[in-house]
Amino acid sequence: MLSTAPQAHTSVRDLFRRGLVIPAHPLALTEDRKLDERRQRALTRYYVEAGAGGLAVGVHTTQFAIHGTGLLRPVLELAADAAAEFPRAVALVAGVTGPTERAVAEAELARSLGYHMVLLSPYRELDEDGLVERARAVGEVLPVIGFYLQPAVGGRPLSRDFWTRLASIESVVGIKVAPFDRYRTLDVLHGVVRAGRAGEVALYTGNDDHILADLITTHRVIVDGREVEVEFVGGLLGQWAVWVRRAVELLEQATLARSGDDAAVRRLLSLDGHLTDANAAIFDSANGFRGCIPGIHEVLRRQGLLAGRWCLDPEEELSPGQLAEIDRVWAAYPWLRDDEFVAEGLDRWLA
């Protein structure tokens, strides 16, 4: 069901199921808030050269405001074209939003541009029955990654039964679990097991406050007397829009940890608090995540990948005190940053 070139898409599907670093791709803007095509391409090149296995474009980090505008097509197209410059397969994930008709149309656009799957954002105007039927309709166009989005940025609580029903849809190939809530994270895990598709639906952490703990844990879910092991195989994260070279190394270590490498477990547990602390500053957890996109932009600006923190909404800026917090974590955790890697490649990516 991965459309066109079956062999290439089969390999992408296998890579996705195995587990990838998938950055949530930001939107590069000029000072007058127009698309900066040069830096948009540079970001994609950075992610691919850093070792990211996929790109999620048109998602929250790209700014949902591009949906329903003339920006969506060129932003999706720029990422696909830049990724195609590289010889290896890159999983292209398009963010899809809105009511069913619009979500289907956006999936059709993504398919026409060579995207392999869609990340289907929740839509507040539909109940759980409506969301399931919407996923079925979108899945007729491209494979679907379900999305448990945290309420602070537009999501809502969804029942364990909903995740069972969603995971039962054959075209659902993965779920990004990002409620920032352990109880609701378990609802997804139980739902996937109840659907009998634990071996087919790839779980990706989007819990930016719990990244490494998610990635090193093998969950033993008990449903109807059966014990089933489920794991987060990778991350589809706004936090992984920055410091991507390190993110790739962390996922490699997490894979070792899940395979029984106790030293890797200890290393990652020692880094878990550091990464969460850095994320709190970048994502502005102290202010209900209002400054999360400018925070990501600020890190990329410091590395030279973006020219500024500009968002489509002129009012969307860092919160009071957030810049000082970013300064603090920047100095405190140099081992989380990939500044040398970016400095070596920046001129090439911007060329």
Dig out the tokens for 35 from the structure.
Answer: 């698309």
144-149 and 117-120 strand pairing: parallel
Collapsing DSSP to helix, strand or coil, 101 comes out as helix
Residue 4 has pLDDT above 70, yes or no: no
pLDDT tier at 8, thresholds 50, 70, 90: very low
What is the percent of the chain where pLDDT is above 90? 94
Residue 190 has pLDDT above 50, yes or no: yes
State the pLDDT at residue 263. 94
Q: Average pLDDT for residues 159-172, to the nearest whole number?
A: 98
Q: Average pLDDT for residues 167-179, to the nearest whole number?
A: 97
State the pLDDT at residue 150. 87
- Could you give the angle at the alpha carbon of 139 between the alpha carbons of 229 and 43, nearest 5°? 80
Structural domain boundaries of the chain? Answer: 6-254
pLDDT tier at 3, thresholds 50, 70, 90: very low
Model pTM score: 0.95
pLDDT tier at 254, thresholds 50, 70, 90: very high
Q: What is the pLDDT of residues 225-247, one digit of tens each?
A: 999 999 999 999 999 999 999 99
**CA pseudo-torsion sign 74, 80, 84, 85:** positive
Residue 96 has pLDDT above 60, yes or no: yes
- Could you give the angle at the alpha carbon of 155 between the alpha carbons of 127 and 182, nearest 5°? 110
What superfamily would CATH give domain 6-254?
Answer: Aldolase class I (3.20.20.70)
Give the C-alpha separation, 36 to 34, whole Å.
6
Q: How many CB atoms lie within 10 A of CB 173?
A: 23
pLDDT tier at 7, thresholds 50, 70, 90: very low
φ/ψ of 140, rounded to 5, equals: -70, -15
Residue 162 has pLDDT above 70, yes or no: yes
For residue 27, which of 39, 18, 19, 12 has the smallest C-alpha distance? Answer: 39
Q: How many CB atoms lie within 10 A of CB 228?
A: 17
pLDDT tier at 152, thresholds 50, 70, 90: confident
φ/ψ of 16, rounded to 5, equals: -60, -45
State the pLDDT at residue 339. 98
Give the C-alpha separation, 201 to 168, whole Å.
9
For residue 292, which of 273, 309, 271, 314 has the smallest C-alpha distance? Answer: 309
State the pLDDT at residue 151. 84
Q: What is the pLDDT of residues 323-348, one digit of tens each?
A: 999 999 999 999 999 999 999 999 99
